Amino acid sequence: MDDLKRIEQIINGYIKKKIQIAIAESCTGGYISHMITNISGASKVFERGIISYSNDAKIDVLKVDPESIEEKGAVSEIVAKQMAINIRKLSNVDIGIGITGIAGPTGSAPGKPVGLVFISFSNEKETIVEKYIFKSDRINFKKKVLEKILLYLEKY
């Protein structure tokens, strides 16, 4: 099944269950929000998407702790976790998703290769962070991140 059909099924299920989501994207630059909003009815589920590409945006808009960025870097488990928790709380939704990574082909650092991404999911009960390394071009990187998000949303 293609991604848009899967998103449509997720949206329809979430409408019935009255579940709302919000997304804080960095390295995907709005791609996840774009894909969700391609489906009619998404506004009943998708409360907002924030593209927090810069560190300042993460701090100013999403209230990520500047010390976390300074100590661990913007591409880290702790920053992804804060992005997910804070977007959920700021948006008053059931699920917050935070995404931070290095889409490449540049931007790697020691211990942080191109393709590294942290995807965090926060709900009222728990916040989890998944770490992946997707060795691909930027567009396929974003598609692989979308795939992981769809898997989570389908299981929720």
This prediction has a pTM of: 0.97
Work out whether strand 116-122 and strand 95-101 pair parallel, antiparallel, or are unpaired.
antiparallel
Q: How many CB atoms lie within 10 A of CB 140?
A: 13
In CATH terms, is domain 3-155 a member of 3.90.950.20? yes
Query: Tokens for 131?
Result: 């770490």
3-state secondary structure of 20: coil
pLDDT in tens, 51-75: 999 999 999 999 999 999 999 999 9
Through-space distance between the first and last CA atoms of the chain, rounded to whole angstroms: 19
Residue 1 has pLDDT above 80, yes or no: no
pLDDT in tens, 113-139: 999 999 999 999 999 999 999 999 999
